[in-house]
Amino acid sequence: MIRDGALVLSAAVMTHPDREAEVRRFVERHPELELRIAVDPEPERGHSLGTALLAWSMVEPGATHHLVLQDDVVLCEGFVDLMVAAVRTHPDAAVSMFAEWGARAGTLVRLALLRGQGYAAVADPYIPTQALVLPAAQAADFAEKGRTETEPDDIALLNHLRRTGTRGVVVAPNLVQHQDRPSLTGNTFQGPRLSACFVPDPPAGLLAALEPTVAGADLDFLPHVSWMRLIGEWFYCGPDEEAVWTGWPLAERLPPELDAAWLRSQYDAHLRQSDRREEIRKTLSDTVLFEVWLACLALGLVSGVTPAGVVARAADPLWQAALATVLPGAFRRYLPAPVLDRLGPYAAELFGLAIHEGATVAAGGEQDTVHAIAHRGARWP
């Protein structure tokens, strides 16, 4: 087990029989984790829940917390120390080390890094389970009570956490990367599901340099473009209601002065500033690219970061890495991986300009109006 003062973590990795030999090599590469292996007891089911329940049942006596890894993750350098620091900061929470680049939690990871925060809220209808730590009692409780669930493990586990009042947080930047290979549970159709911001070799004391607060905890509604619909929407992200798969159009909750003509003119002006605008426009229509740009503008609007703060963050490699995954996260089902890799950093400039524009609008507007955009209020339909 991993011991750090009063914090004691046991650990397991869940796998399928087809990958058992590979996962044993993974365990050998990471002896510091003392991983136990949970092999899918129902491999023909094509469902992750049985394996997850077995892995969560492997809490060792004396453990205060339990880590479960999936077999297709890559750990950052210094993973154990950073993971322990995250769990120490949020000991009563479900602490996830990963959020994929197209998820709402991925958008909140970007917001966290824009603000200088080290954590993001869980805002999707599931909790990322690629690398997750639970308090030991919660892990054992889910292993027992989760047997009545029928949903995949990430949805079943979020349902359990909501019933028990346990908060979920995601470490920003992510401490693991998800390998891009065929899914054993039918998720290949979703396209590549990589990290919103993964740093393979993070600097020492990374999390200590970031605020321990949680991005999204202060918002009721989050602007985001779903990879399923490619439409900019507001999604509920507060703690009091169940997250849903579809949201509400961005235009329904923008300040009235941001009319369609103004938004289009700003979008065109920002796109003209990109050296790669022709390559971007040849690949993506303005219809869908505008939706992502608008969601980034709305994120800047509700971020609480000043325009000067956005400019200052531009020199931060973590922030640039997070911006570079915005386009791949949205268009991962629709563009080949080499195109996503090539265009992601170029589009980051466009989306950074949009976030700065949103912050500028917020700084020059009525704060009551800006607050109403991100929270329940009279303007909500």
Rounded distance, CA 237 to CA 48, Å? Answer: 26
pLDDT score of 338 more than 50: yes
Specify if 379 maps to a domain. no
Helices (H) then strands (E): counts for the chain: 14, 14
At 64-83, the pLDDT tens digits run 999 999 999 999 999 999 99
- Whether 115 and 82 share a structural domain: yes
- Whether 301 and 168 share a structural domain: no
Is the distance from CB of 220 to CB of 340 less than 8 angstroms? no
Q: How many CB atoms lie within 10 A of CB 6?
A: 8
Is the distance from CB of 98 to CB of 130 less than 8 angstroms? yes
Rounded distance, CA 320 to CA 133, Å? Answer: 28
- Whether 72 and 210 share a structural domain: yes
- Whether 208 and 227 share a structural domain: no
Rounded distance, CA 57 to CA 132, Å? Answer: 14
In percent, the amount of the chain with pLDDT more than 70 equals 93
pLDDT score of 89 more than 80: yes
Helix or strand holding residue 221 (H, E): strand 221-225
Range of the domain at 159: 2-215
- Whether 186 and 231 share a structural domain: no
The CATH number of whichever domain residue 121 belongs to comes to: 3.90.550.10
Cis? peptide before 173, omega within 30° of 0: yes
At 188-214, the pLDDT tens digits run 556 788 999 999 999 878 888 899 999
At 2-54, the pLDDT tens digits run 999 999 999 999 998 888 889 999 999 999 999 999 998 887 776 789 999 99
Any idea what DSSP says for residue 175?
Answer: S
Q: Between vectors from CA 241 to CA 96 and to CA 176, what angle results, nearest 5°?
A: 10
pLDDT score of 296 more than 80: yes
Residue for token pair 């303007």: 379
The first and second tokens of residue 131, run together, are 């690398």
**Structure confidence at residue 367 (pLDDT):** 65
In percent, the amount of the chain with pLDDT more than 90 equals 70
Specify if 180 maps to a domain. yes
Q: What average pLDDT does this structure show over 96-106?
A: 97
pLDDT score of 300 more than 80: yes
At 117-135, the pLDDT tens digits run 999 999 999 999 999 999 9
Lowest mean pLDDT among 51-55, 98-102, 363-367: 363-367
- Whether 208 and 263 share a structural domain: no
Strand 168-171 to 232-236 pairing = unpaired
**Structure confidence at residue 237 (pLDDT):** 84
pLDDT score of 114 more than 60: yes
**Structure confidence at residue 379 (pLDDT):** 42
**Backbone dihedral angles phi then psi of residue 247, each to the nearest 5 degrees:** -120, -150
Q: What average pLDDT does this structure show over 86-98?
A: 97
pLDDT score of 376 more than 70: no
Rounded distance, CA 122 to CA 58, Å? Answer: 25
**Structure confidence at residue 378 (pLDDT):** 38
Specify if 381 maps to a domain. no
**Structure confidence at residue 188 (pLDDT):** 55
- Whether 145 and 19 share a structural domain: yes
Task: Decide which of 215, 234, 261 is a domain's last residue.
Answer: 215
Helix or strand holding residue 373 (H, E): helix 367-374
Task: Decide which of 215, 248, 281 is a domain's last residue.
Answer: 215
Query: Which of the pair, 333 or 242, is modelled with greater confidence?
Result: 333
Specify if 231 maps to a domain. yes
- Whether 77 and 173 share a structural domain: yes
- Whether 152 and 243 share a structural domain: no
Tally of structural domains, the chain: 2
- Whether 196 and 174 share a structural domain: yes
pLDDT score of 278 more than 60: yes
**Structure confidence at residue 366 (pLDDT):** 65
| Mean pLDDT of the chain, nearest integer | 90
Specify if 380 maps to a domain. no
Q: Between vectors from CA 146 to CA 142 and to CA 151, what angle results, nearest 5°?
A: 125
- Whether 48 and 193 share a structural domain: yes
**Structure confidence at residue 42 (pLDDT):** 80
**Structure confidence at residue 197 (pLDDT):** 98
Q: What average pLDDT does this structure show over 320-324?
A: 96
Q: What average pLDDT does this structure show over 220-240?
A: 88
Residue 253, amino acid? R
Q: What predicted TM-score, i.e. pTM, was given to this entire model?
A: 0.93
- Whether 225 and 208 share a structural domain: no
Contacts of 8 (CB under 8 A, 6+ apart): 1, 2, 62, 63, 64, 65
Task: Decide which of 215, 239, 254 is a domain's last residue.
Answer: 215
At 140-193, the pLDDT tens digits run 999 999 888 888 999 999 999 999 999 999 999 999 999 875 555 545 556 788
Query: Which of the pair, 252 or 322, is modelled with greater confidence?
Result: 322
